[in-house]
């Protein structure tokens, strides 16, 4: 019984991690690459842009990066967030 409950708890924990939006202001290249629709080159472009220009204020700011348009962002919007941009800037 304990084994079953442990399995269920691990399964539910995995679901919550999969559902959580990735913060584009703090995510690493690997974390961004794990998002469906963002490959390694787009992930690196996001991090490079963020390093050069500071934190994103909105997911829509990704439009400034080559390869991100309205259709692409519409698909990604639920999987991405900006979190607290002020806190990200302090890091």
Token digits of residue 20: 């959580």
Q: Nearest CA to 76 among 57, 55, 59, 58?
A: 59
pTM: 0.71
Fold of 22-90: DNA polymerase; domain 1 (1.10.150)
**Average pLDDT, stretch 51-64?**
95
The Cα–Cα gap between 71 and 54 comes to 24
Q: What is the pLDDT confidence band of residue 17, given thresholds at 50, 70 and 90?
A: very low
Contact 85, 56 (CB under 8 A): yes
Radius of gyration for the alpha carbons in the chain, expressed in angstroms and rounded = 16
pLDDT of residue 90: 46
For the chain, what percent of residues have pLDDT higher than 90? 67
């Amino acid at each position: 019984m304990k084994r079953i409950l442990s399995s269920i708890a691990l399964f539910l924990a995995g679901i919550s991690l999969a559902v959580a939006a990735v913060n584009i202001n703090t995510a690493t290249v690997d974390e961004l690459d794990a998002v469906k629709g963002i490959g390694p080159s787009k992930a690196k472009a996001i991090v490079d842009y963020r390093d050069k220009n500071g934190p994103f204020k909105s997911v829509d700011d990704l439009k400034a990066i080559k390869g991100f348009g309205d259709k692409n962002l519409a698909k990604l919007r639920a999987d991405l967030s900006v979190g607290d941009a002020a806190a990200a800037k302090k890091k």
